[in-house]
Each structure stands twice: as structure tokens, then as C-alpha cells.
């Protein structure tokens, strides 16, 4: 596979790789490093890429595994889940503060989710992947993905309700 063909195949989903890495790692810098590392690995395997039926799914799986390895490594002592994809600049200051507070709470709640639930909710609710695609990426059945997503959403919802109703009733 030539360089231009490689770029035509890989560049359309490069941002998805970055967002997944950012979901799993602490900072933009860590996510950028992870994305670059995955792109280098893909380039080193470019001769075999023509044999893959879905290069994007393969790259997403590589990103997931790379990030999980980073989180498990000794140098990951200060890495944690952070999500800051939301930005709306056409709202009042009070609304901005409320949204910021809500996102902060959701981030804290999601930090407590099991790793698989974090990944499923990221891929489904943020990246908008279909259940079958998530099942393929995470080596799960589509039913297991639905159950995992349901449990993750339920946990987030319950903890948000608990936070907002604290001291009431």
C-alpha cells in the first residue's frame, strides 16, 4: 500500500482514534501520543492492511489495547478518565457553569465505572457506533454490549439523581 492510499484509508477515522484515546487517558497530550503511536503501528503494517476487512475497527481495537496497556503500566500512576468534548459558546454564564458542573459530575461518575462500561458508553454515546460494531471491537456479543450500556447508563443516571436530590425529601 502506497503512502497516498494509506492516508486515504486512515485519515478519515484518525479523529475517532484520538477521541477514544482521550476518553481512556488523562490528557490531550497522552491521547495525541497514543494516536500517533497507533498511526505509526498501522504504517508499519501497511502491507498487511489490504487483508483486513475493516481497517477502522482494527485501528480502534489497537487504540483500545494500547490505551489499556498504558493505564496498566507503571508510568500510568497519574492517568485517569477525563472527558471534555462538550463546548457551547452561545449560552449564558449561568448555563455555562451549570453545564460545566454537570459534566464534572458525569466525569467523576464515569471514572468509577468498570473499564468495559466506560468503553461501551464512549463508543456508543460519544462516537455513535452501532451495537454490532462495538461488539466486534470489544469481542462481545451485541446483547452483552446492550446490557453493559444499559448498566452504565443506569449507574450514571442513579448517581446524578442522587446528587441532585441530596437533602430533599
What sign for the dihedral angle of Cα 27, 102, 16, 70? Answer: positive
Rounded CA-CA distance 62/34 in Å is 10
Q: What angle do CA 62, 68, 73 make, to 5 degrees?
A: 125
Helix runs in the chain, H state only: 3-10, 14-24, 28-44, 55-72, 93-111, 115-121, 131-138, 142-164
Please report the pLDDT score of residue 166 as a whole number. 62
Report the 10 Å Cβ neighbour count for 113.
Answer: 19
Rounded CA-CA distance 123/108 in Å is 18
Please report the pLDDT score of residue 1 as a whole number. 64
More confident residue, 93 or 136: 136
Rounded CA-CA distance 9/32 in Å is 19
Write the pLDDT tens digit of every residue in 29-41. Answer: 888 999 999 999 9
CB 105 within 8 A of CB 156: no
List, by residue range, all CATH 1.10.10.10 domains of the chain. 91-169
Please report the pLDDT score of residue 96 as a whole number. 76
List, by residue range, all CATH 1.10.1740 domains of the chain. 1-78
CATH number of 91-169: 1.10.10.10
- Residue position matching grid coordinates 481512556: 24
Write the pLDDT tens digit of every residue in 107-166. Answer: 888 888 998 998 898 888 878 889 999 999 899 999 999 999 999 999 988 888 887 776
Please report the pLDDT score of residue 144 as a whole number. 95
Rounded CA-CA distance 117/137 in Å is 14
- Tell which CATH architecture fits domain 1-78: Orthogonal Bundle (1.10)
Write the pLDDT tens digit of every residue in 69-85. Answer: 887 774 545 544 444 44
Amino acid at each position: 500500500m502506497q503512502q497516498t492510499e494509506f492516508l486515504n484509508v486512515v485519515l478519515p477515522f484518525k479523529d475517532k482514534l484520538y477521541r477514544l484515546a482521550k476518553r481512556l487517558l488523562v490528557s490531550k497530550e497522552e491521547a495525541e501520543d497514543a494516536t500517533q503511536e497507533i498511526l505509526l503501528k498501522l504504517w508499519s503494517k501497511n502491507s498487511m492492511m489490504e487483508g483486513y476487512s475493516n481497517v477502522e475497527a482494527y485501528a480502534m481495537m489497537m487504540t483500545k489495547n494500547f490505551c489499556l496497556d498504558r493505564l496498566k503500566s507503571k508510568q500510568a500512576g497519574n492517568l485517569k478518565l477525563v472527558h471534555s468534548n462538550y463546548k457551547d459558546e452561545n449560552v449564558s454564564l449561568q448555563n455555562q457553569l451549570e453545564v460545566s458542573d454537570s459534566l464534572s459530575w458525569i466525569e467523576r461518575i464515569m471514572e468509577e465505572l468498570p473499564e468495559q462500561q466506560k468503553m461501551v458508553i464512549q463508543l456508543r454515546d460519544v462516537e455513535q457506533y452501532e451495537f454490532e460494531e462495538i461488539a466486534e471491537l470489544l469481542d462481545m456479543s451485541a446483547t452483552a454490549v446492550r446490557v453493559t450500556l444499559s448498566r452504565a447508563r443506569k449507574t450514571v443516571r442513579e448517581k446524578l439523581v442522587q446528587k441532585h436530590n441530596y437533602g430533599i425529601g
